[in-house]
Structure 1
């Protein structure tokens, strides 16, 4: 059966095409950007069509929700990469390290310590991104820009390998300046990874150096 024009496979193809076009405009390779399908709140039945269409990177906001649906999905498709993109409580570090292949929400010293202990205990090390509160918003998680060098130094002292930085720009604003600032901070701190860009701005993020984009609505449709 051919995919419907508005079905999961068609939406995935459209996002991949736009991502490739944006990368090309910036002189980048499309395969240098990991497309993470944000599957939070979506049941396994909604995720399966994207897996069938070849998508392999998925993102969840909550450890408990991921534990309920992903072990079986990962067992059936072992090459899936699962990303934690929401806030992480320190007491959930063990569970997160066991389940996720990448954690994008390292944002404070206590969590760095908890993750270091969990990684030693589990004998596996997920890819780690430090989340930066790029818009200095009180209601959002993330390390303050001024605290970033100290947090990165602590992570290195704990033996943690940090792949890059992550941000969520303020809503209803032009994202490009915030993406550019995150790229500048990453360069200043010797980091290559940039987790930035969502359904409304992933093309801009790709043009400004994103190595991971986190796309939900454009792939799963509006809730």
Structure 2
């Protein structure tokens, strides 16, 4: 199956089935089509098929393709799902509707300043290094309470938590842990689940799924 509309319909059907099994409402779950490394020509067919939420990893790449796409498709939501440098905070606040990679106090400060300057509140997810992996971004689980205090003091809108489980381990326990952390801190959002494990994530309470290769094929 290579037709974008068919791929999108198949993914949405799988999400709906997983939600039904988990006794959840499918409209509680947002599908983010991860369009990083893919050109506008690959994105347009998914927009025509009804997809409205897209995710990018890098501010600079998104700046190169999304202003023109959004001028034509004003209903699009754009989410930043990759790591964000503090010196790119102002550009990110201007371009994105949601940021999934808030992970340190210096970024809290930079985003708060950027949002105040822009007069725009952009919802954020705190990325948690759920598998305690040295090579991955995200705040340590032990540092989460203090980071949440920082965000509240800076008046940053925090929607929930985000994670990327270790690639070589079963994802379910890590999703369950993120779900518990979010519940413990009174946060509604859980950004978790990608192309290989999004159905498991739905079962574990995901509210935002970040699906790329299952929709676009291999990265360009």
User: Which category describes the TM-score, using the shorter chain as reference length?
Assistant: over 0.9
Shift of 1:186: 0.4
Report the counterpart of residue 195 of structure 2 in structure 1. 199
Report the counterpart of residue 103 of structure 1 in structure 2. 99
Shift of 1:222: 2.1
Shift of 1:221: 1.2
List, as ranges, runs of 4+ consecutive aligned residues in structure 1 with deviation greater than 3 Å. Answer: none
Report the counterpart of residue 150 of structure 2 in structure 1. 154
Give ranges in structure 1 of 5+ residues lacking alignment. Answer: none
Over residues 184-214 of structure 1, what are the superposed CA-to-partner deviations in whole Å (9 max), with x where a residue is unaligned?
A: 0001111010000000000000111000000
Task: Report matched runs for 1:129-208 at 5 Å.
Answer: 129-208=125-204
> Aligned partners of 2:116 and 2:71: how far apart in 1?
24
Shift of 1:31: 1.1
Give ranges in structure 2 of 5+ residues lacking alignment. Answer: none
Shift of 1:33: 0.4
> Aligned partners of 2:70 and 2:130: how far apart in 1?
33
Report the counterpart of residue 126 of structure 1 in structure 2. 122
> Aligned partners of 1:185 and 1:101: how far apart in 2?
24
Task: Report matched runs for 1:27-38 at 5 Å.
Answer: 27-38=23-34
> Aligned partners of 1:74 and 1:98: how far apart in 2?
13
Are 2:122 and 2:157, in contact at CA under 8 Å, matched by a contact in 1? no
Over residues 144-190 of structure 1, what are the superposed CA-to-partner deviations in whole Å (9 max), with x where a residue is unaligned?
A: 00000000001000111210000000002100000000000001111
1:59 matched to 2:55: yes
Counterpart among 19, 23, 26 of residue 23 in structure 1: 19
> Aligned partners of 1:52 and 1:83: how far apart in 2?
19
Over residues 99-118 of structure 1, what are the superposed CA-to-partner deviations in whole Å (9 max), with x where a residue is unaligned?
A: 00000000000000000000
> Aligned partners of 1:203 and 1:53: how far apart in 2?
21
Shift of 1:26: 0.6
